[in-house]
């Protein structure tokens, strides 16, 4: 039987050897004051002990957290699943060739990581990652029960904002794979995001067949593109 194509950093670089130019107007961001106001409202609604602040990670926060934490546990949330369902018109995509990013969407369950954030002041501990995730208006914040080997915790999770303009709905796996293979923004290719997230899941022993299938399909799309033709398309 033929071997399924593998998604690798070298294959991605063959098709996307550079990065695109940034277009700050492609995806409007919330102002700092608006983002802070949403953070204050979320913290005011936080259940449980005020000094216990947990964050659920299922995508880039598994492999690129930008916050201090004192503990990390495998965790599962029920009623939500990991899905590429947010348009990305900037960062890892453009208006002309949008990418798609992960969010938690309704139904099923998701295995990821629960981080206990460090520091005595919850707002200060959370602010940087809150701005990173919430300014693009693709996510809504939810306090969700997360099951861990040491017992349940209540964790903040960034779920898909279905009412927002970035919600892409239920794209098929084939549509998602084609978008991921084609898109590249000023911080890098969309396929790199998929590769890193899948690698983080695999390293933690978190089997995600959706990500596994997408890697094969994205690799097939990239292999079908001639390197010479693609070399000038994603920036210097």
Q: How large is the average pLDDT for residues 4-29?
A: 93
* CATH code that applies to domain 9-230: 3.10.490.10
Residues 113/56, Cβ–Cβ less than 8 Å: yes
Give the pLDDT of residue 232. 42
Integer angstrom CA distances of residue 40 from 33, 49, 122, 127, 176: 11, 16, 10, 10, 34
Q: Is 133 a known active-site residue?
A: yes
H/E stretch holding 105 reads strand 99-117
Residue 146 binned pLDDT confidence (cut-offs 50, 70, 90):
very high
Residue 104: name the closest of 126, 85, 132 by CA: 85
Helix (H) or strand (E) holding 69: strand 69-88
Mean pLDDT of the chain: 92
pLDDT at 94 (0 to 100): 96
Confidence bin at 17 (pLDDT 50/70/90): very high
Distance CA 49, CA 43 (A): 11
C-alpha distance from residue 218 to each of 78, 172, 179, 221 (Å): 28, 13, 9, 5
Chain segment 189-230, per-residue pLDDT in tens: 999 999 999 999 999 999 899 999 999 999 999 999 877 344
Mean pLDDT of 47-58: 90
By residue count, the chain amounts to 236
How much is the pTM?
0.91
pLDDT of residue 235: 34
What pLDDT is recorded for position 227?
77
Residue 231 in this model has a pLDDT that exceeds 90: no
Mean pLDDT within 5-19: 95
Catalytic residue among 133, 173, 175, 192: 133
């Amino acid at each position: 039987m033929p071997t399924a194509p593998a998604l690798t950093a070298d294959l991605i670089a063959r098709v996307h050897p550079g990065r695109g130019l940034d277009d700050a107007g492609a995806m409007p961001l919330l102002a700092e004051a608006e983002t802070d106001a949403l953070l204050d409202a979320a913290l005011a609604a936080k259940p449980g002990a005020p000094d216990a602040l947990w964050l659920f990670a299922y995508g880039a926060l598994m492999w690129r957290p930008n916050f201090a934490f004192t503990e990390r546990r495998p965790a599962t949330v029920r009623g939500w699943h990991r899905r590429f369902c947010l348009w990305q018109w900037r960062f890892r995509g453009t208006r002309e060739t949008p990418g798609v990013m992960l969010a938690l969407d309704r139904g099923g369950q998701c295995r990821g990581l629960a981080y206990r954030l460090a520091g005595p002041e919850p707002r200060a501990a959370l602010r940087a990652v809150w701005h990173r995730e919430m300014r693009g208006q693709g996510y809504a914040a939810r306090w969700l029960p997360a099951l861990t080997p040491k017992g349940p915790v209540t964790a903040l999770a960034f779920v898909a904002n279905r009412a927002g303009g970035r919600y892409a709905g239920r794209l098929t796996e084939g549509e998602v794979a084609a978008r991921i293979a084609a898109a590249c923004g000023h911080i890098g290719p969309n396929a790199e995001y998929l590769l890193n997230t899948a690698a983080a899941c695999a390293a933690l022993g978190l089997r995600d067949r959706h990500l596994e299938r997408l890697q094969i399909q994205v690799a097939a799309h990239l292999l079908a593109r001639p390197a010479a033709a693609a070399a000038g398309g994603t920036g210097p």
